[in-house]
Structure 1
Amino acid sequence: MGNCFGSEETELEGVNTPGHHGQLQLQGSTTASRSLPPMSAPNARQSQGSSMSVITSRSTNGAGNISAAFLEPEEGVILEVPNLRIFTFAELKAATRNFKPDTVLGEGGFGRVYKGWVDKKTMNPTSSGVGSAMVIAVKKLKPGSSQGLEEWQCEVNFLGRMSHPNLVRLLGYCLEERELLLVYEFMAKGSLENHLFRKGSSVHPISWALRLRIAIGAARGLAFLHSSDKHVIYRDFKSSNILLDTHYNAKISDFGLVRNGPADGDSHVTTRIMGTYGYAAPEYVSTGHLYVKSDVYGFGVVLLEMLTGLRALDTARPAPQLNLVNWAKPYLADRRRLPQLVDPHLEGQYTSRAALLAAQLTMSCLAGDPKNRPSMAEVVAALEMIERMKPPPHRLISPRATARTVHGRTHARLPTRTAILH
C-alpha cells in the first residue's frame, strides 16, 4: 500500500461489506500504474545503520520521551521530530498477555490490534488491576500483510509528530527484526463504523446531536492536517478510521496512507490510486491526481453515512443502491424527499432546516470538481452552525410522518419521540 517517502507499491482497496472490518480486493478491478516523484521524509533523526527515518532516543524509564504526546493544545502542534517511546518486543508481548486472542480489539490491512496495559508514568508493562495501569492499543503487523514497513514509517513520521485533540495519539513503536508494531492511546468506544452499522439488542443508535459532535471533531482533525505547512492529505478518510474515546470525542486514526500536499503553486500531487472504494474522490480514482480537497469528498461520504445510517458501499443492497452516493444524491437535492433518506433512528431529533443544511453541506462536499468543494475549515463552521439549531420540540420532524422510507421500513403513525438516544 502507501509510501510517504518514495516510490509506491500499490494495490486497490475494496468494499467494506457488512460484518467486515478490513478491506477487500474489489473483484474485476484493475490497478492503475503511475510514477511518483521522490518525497522527503518529515524532519526526523536518522537511525545509525538504518535507512529508516525514525527517532532513536529513549529515556531510561520511558516517561520523559512520551510526555509531550499527552500535551494537546486546542489548535494542535507539529513537532520537528517524532517524540515517541521505543518499546521492545518483549515489553509489548508482556503488555498484551502474549498477544492473547481475548485481547484483540480489531483487525485491518496492517494486522491485528491488541489491548494492553502499561504504567502511566514509566510506560512499562503492568497488570490491568494495578492503580497506575493505563490501557493502550498495540497494532502488530501480520505475516503476509499487503502493508508493511512503508505504512509503519508513515505512521511514525507523520502521526508521531502531530498532536491535536482530534487525532489519535501515537505513543510509541517497536522495530525488532521482522516485528513491526505501533502503540496508540486506547479509544474505549471503538470506531464510528461500529456505532453506525452494528446490529444487536445491545447496540443503541447514536443520536443526531452526537453524530453532529462526532462529525465536527473529525472535521477539525482534517482541517488541522490541511492547514499545516505541508498541507497534509490524509487520503483514506472513512468511518472505520474515526475512533471514539470514552466521551465520544472523535479522533482520526491510521495514517499509513498520508501524503504531503502539493508544493510550489501546484494544485495537486500525482500518485497511484490508494484508499477505499466508495470513499475515494472521483478525480483521484480516474486520474491519480490527489488534491487537498480529495479528503473533503471522503468526508462528504462519511457525512452521508451518518445522515442515512447506511454504508458507502454495501453488496447486500440491490444493484442500483450499491453505491450510496450515486443512489442518495437525488434525495439530498430534494427537500421533500430528504426525510425519506434520513436514518429512521433519528426521528424526532432534528428540524427540517437542520436536515436540509446537512444535506446541502453533504452535496457540496461531494461535488465532482474539487474546486467546488468547501475547505474543511468551512465544513467545520457549517457543522457548528447546524449544531446550534436546537428548536422547541413542536418544530421537530419525524420521518414516520412519511410512513415509508428508502430504508425499506414501514412505520405506523405513532407520536414523535423527542428523547435523544445514546
Structure 2
Amino acid sequence: MNGISKTIVFLAVLVSVLFPTSTWAETSKLLDCSISSAVNCSSYIYLRNVTEPINSVPSRLKISALDISPFNVHDYLAKIPCSCSDNFTFSYRVNYTVQPSNVGLVLQEISDKYFSHTAWTVNQSRILDLGDKVELALGCGCPIPGWKSIISYVVTDDDTLFEITPKFHSNLDAIVKLNNIQDKRVIMSDWVYFIPYHQEKHHRRARGIVIKVSVSLAGTILLLFLLIIPFYYSCRRRGSSLTQSSTYIDNEEAQYWGEQRKQEQNLDQGLSALTNLTYEEIIQMKGYCERSYKIGQGSFGKVYRGNLKEKDVAIKKIRRTSKDSKRLVENEVGLLHGKEHKNLVNLIAWCVEEHTFYLVYEYVNGCTLDEYLRENSSIPSLSWKQCLKVIASIAEGVEFLHLSKIIHVDIKPQNIMLDIRTNEVKIIDFGFSRHVDWEGTHKTTERITGTRGYWSPEYCFNHNLSYKHDIYSFGIVVLEVITGQRHVDNARGSSQFHIPDYLLYMIANNRFEQALDERLKGDCRNESDLMNALAVTELALKCAEKDKEERPDMGYVVRELCLMREKSIDIESSEMDR
C-alpha cells in the first residue's frame, strides 16, 4: 500500500471514530490533498433530482446563481470553492442556519436533505433547534494531471462505472485510480466518488439544454438532424470492431459486457431446463397474479397468494427490467433448489418467460418480523419464552445456511417471516446471498445492496463477505427483538444512535429492564427471566462486535440459545411445581 492509500485509510478510520453516526466519511473515499498540486480550486457537486426552486440552492451553498448549471432535466452541477484547509483532505465549509422545517433533525439529516449526501458533519450529531448555526464540510477535490476539475458524485443503486464514465465524459482508469477502486465492477451505493471532469464539455452540454428550450420547433428539428448524421456514421464505425468502441469504455469493459450477455443467455437456458411446472400449472399460477391476489411487494417484484398442487403458495412475480433482476433470480433458484429447513422458506417451483420470472414458495401465514416490531400486525404480543424461540429459530436457519456454505448477506427483520400459528420463523429473500469457499469467505465481484446498519463494518470498508457478516446482522436483529426499537434512531442521541451502543449504555447504567420492549416488561416478571433476557442480549452484543474476529460462529450461538431455552423451561416448571 502506498503512502496516499495509507493516509486515506487512516483518515477514514479517524473520522469514523470521531463521528459515530452515519457520516459522509463512512460513505465515501476521502480525497487526499497530496494527490493534487493545487491547494485551492473550483470543484463541482452533483445535485440529483432537484425538486425545490433552483434559486434557493445558491444561497444555501453560499455561491452565486451563475455557479449553478443544468446537467440534464432534473440534475444540476454546483460549482464550489474547494481548498485543502485542514492539510489532509479537500473540503468546502458551509455554515447553515436551522429553519422551522428542520427542527428535530440531526446534522447528518441536514446534510443528506440539502447537500445531496456530499457533506459530513463537523460537530457531533445532535437534535437541532430553530436558529442553530451548524457547520458542514462538503467533500470536493482539486484537479489531477490531465483534468480540469473534479465532481463529487453520490452513487445510486442503478449506477455502474461503465455508465458513470460516459455520463461525465470521463475516463474509467482515471476514476479507478482517483478513488482507489480495487475492482471496476464493484462500487458502493450511497458512497461519494470523485469523477475527473472537463467542464468545457459540460458547458457545451448546458448550452445545448438552453438551446432546446429556447429555439423554435423548426430549429430544434434541424439541430437534431445535424446531430443524427455524424452519430449514424459514428455508430457504423463503432460496430465494425470492438477495438474501435467508445473512447470512454475500453476493451476490458466491452469484454465484460460481452460476458454478461453470454451469462444472461445461459441463465435463460438453465432456468428453463429446471422449470418443474406443467403448462396447466403455469396458466393456473399466472391466473392468481392476474386476479391480483397481492399480499406483498419487494424491490424487484410483487408477491401473490395462490394454490398449487393442493398447497397454499406465495408467488413472486419479477419483471425482467434489468441485469440485476436476472442475477437475483438465478442466484435464488441456484441456492434454494434442493435445500429444505424448517426455518427457511421452501422454494417449490419456478418459471421463466421472455419478460417475467415466477418463483413459487410455501405460503407463510403471518407477517414479517419488522411488521411485528413496529406494531402493525395482527399477531398478539409474544411472551419472553416465545421471543426466545423466535431468536433461536433465526439462529438455526442462519446456521443451516452456513453449513451449506451460503452467506445470506441481507439478514434483517423485513426478511424474516413470523408464522402466526406456530411462532416459527422463515428466513426469506435469497437474491443477494452468496456461496463461499471452504474458509467461509467471499470477495464481492459485483455491487451487492442491502440495508445500512445491518451491514458488518468489514463489508462497508473493503467489500469482503464472510459468515461473520451474517452473524453481525443477526446480532442487530436480536437487539431489535429485545428492545422493540429500530437499529438506528436519532432520538437516542449520537452516542446511542446505533442499537449496540444504546444497549451497552443501558446495561452499564443498570437500566437494562427499562430498555426491554414494553410487550416484554410485564412478562419478564421475575429475576430469572430478566437475567435470561440479559444473557441473550450479551450474546447478541458479542455477535455485533465491530471486530469480526471477536464474533462467535453461529454453531456456538445456537448451542448457547438452546441452553438458555432449556434453563428457562426448567425454571418455569419448577415454579409451577411450587
Could you tell me how far apart the structure 2 residues matched to 1:237 and 1:308 are?
18
Q: Is the 8 A contact 2:281 2:308 kept in 1?
A: no
2:220 maps to which residue? Answer: none
Q: Is 2:572 the partner of 1:389?
A: no
Which residue does 2:517 correspond to in 1? 343
Q: Distance in 2 between the 1:283 and 1:239 partners?
A: 21
In 2: Cα distance, 1:151 partner to 1:112 partner: 14
Q: Output the CA distance in 2 between the equivalents of 1:261 and 1:173.
A: 24
Cα distance between partner residues in 2 of 1:363 and 1:192: 20
Find the counterpart in structure 2 of residue 368 from structure 1: 546
Aligned equivalent of 1:296, options 471, 480, 494: 471
In structure 1, distance between residues paired with 2:280 and 2:550? 45
Letter in 2 for 1:254: D
**SS of corresponding position for 2:344:** coil
Structure with more of its chain in helix, by fraction:
2
Residue identity opposite 1:355 in structure 2: A
Q: From the superposition, tell whether residues 159 and 223 of structure 1 become closer, same or farther in structure 2 (CA, over 3 Å).
A: same
Counterpart Cα distance in 1 of 2:304 and 2:508: 45
Given that 2:305 and 2:314 are in contact with CA atoms closer than 8 Å, whether structure 1 keeps it comes out as: yes
Gaps spanning 5+ residues in structure 1: where?
1-11, 13-24, 38-45, 63-84, 121-133, 397-417
Deviation at 1:284, TM superposition (A): 0.6
8 Å CA contact 2:411–2:470 kept in 1: the answer is yes
1:207 has 2:383 as partner: yes
- Give how far 1:54 is off: 2.9
- SS of residue matched to 1:139: strand
Q: 1:329 to 1:49 in 2, by over 3 A?
A: closer
Residue in structure 2 matched with residue 305 of structure 1 by the alignment: 480
1:266: Cα distance to partner? 7.6
Is the alpha carbon distance of 1:161 and 1:337 closer, same or farther for their aligned partners in structure 2, counting shifts above 3 Å? same
1:225 corresponds to 2:401: yes
Partners of 1:310 and 1:145 in 2: how far apart? 35
Query: TM-score normalized by structure 1?
Result: 0.67
State the Cα RMSD in Å: 3.4
Cα 1:304–1:90 shift into 2, 3 Å: same
Matched residue, 1:251: 426
Secondary structure of residue in 1 paired with 2:351: strand
How many Å separate the matches in 2 of 1:106 and 1:167? 18
Paired residues for 1:313-332 under 5 Å: 313-314=488-489, 317=491, 320=494, 322-331=497-506
C-alpha distance in structure 1 between counterparts of 2:379 and 2:430, whole Å? 28
Question: 1:259 deviation in Å?
Answer: 0.8
Higher share in strand:
2
Q: How does 1:13-24 map to 2 (within 5 A)?
A: none
Partner of 2:209: none
- Among 514, 523, 531, the alignment partner of 1:353 is 531
Distance change (3 Å), C-alpha of 1:334 and 1:253: same
Q: Do the aligned partners of residues 142 and 181 (structure 1) sit closer, same or farther apart at CA in structure 2, a change above 3 Å counting?
A: same
Q: The residue matched to 2:367 in structure 1 has which SS?
A: coil
Number of residue pairs the alignment of both structures matches: 320
Residue 240 to residue 48, structure 1, CA distance change in 2 (3 Å): closer
Q: CA deviation at 1:237?
A: 0.4
Q: Deviations over 1:129-185 (max 9, x none)?
A: xxxxx2110111257579411101111111123111111000111211101121100
Distance 2:434 2:571 in 1: 45
| In 1: Cα distance, 2:395 partner to 2:556 partner | 10
Counterpart for residue 105 of structure 1 = 295
- Secondary structure at 1:194's aligned position in 2? helix
Give the CA deviation at 1:386.
1.7
Q: Residue 196 of structure 2 corresponds to which residue in structure 1?
A: none
Q: Which residue does 2:342 correspond to in 1?
A: 165
How far did residue 314 of structure 1 move? 4.7
Identify the match of residue 285 of structure 2 among 78, 82, 92.
92
Aligned residue for 1:278?
A: 453
Q: 1:113-132 to 2 correspondence within 5 Å?
A: 113-120=303-310
Cα distance per residue 1:330-380 (max 9 Å; x no partner): 22x437221121112102433232022112101100111111111111111
Of 54, 60, 75, 2:271 maps to: 54
What whole-Å deviation, never above 9, does each CA across 1:104-150 have from its counterpart, x for those lacking one?
A: 21111111111112232xxxxxxxxxxxxx21101112575794111
C-alpha distance in structure 2 between counterparts of 1:47 and 1:385, whole Å: 47
The gaps in structure 2 that reach 5 residues or longer are 1-26, 28-111, 119-153, 156-178, 187-262
- Residues in 1 aligned to 2:545 and 2:360: alpha-carbon distance in whole angstroms: 37
The answer (yes or no) to whether the contact 2:301–2:319 under 8 Å persists in 1 is: yes
AA matched with 2:287: A
SS at match of 1:255: coil
| Aligned residue type for 1:244 | L
Tell me the residue number matched to 1:405.
Answer: none
- 2:282 and 2:436 mapped to 1: Cα distance? 34
- How many Å separate the matches in 2 of 1:319 and 1:52? 53
Q: Label 1:57 to 1:104 Cα distance change in 2 as closer, same or farther (>3 A).
A: closer
Q: Contact 1:141 / 1:179 at 8 angstroms: preserved in 2?
A: yes
Aligned to 2:6: none
CA radius of gyration, larger in: 2
2:280 and 2:553 map into 1 onto residues whose CA distance is 38
1:204-251 deviations in whole A, cap 9, x for unaligned?
A: 3222111111111111111111112xx211100011111133312111
Distance in 2 (CA, whole Å) between partners of 1:50 and 1:361 is 41
Task: Give the secondary-structure state (helix, strand or coil) at the position aligned to 1:304.
Answer: helix
Paired with 1:49 and 1:301, the residues of 2 have a C-alpha distance of: 38
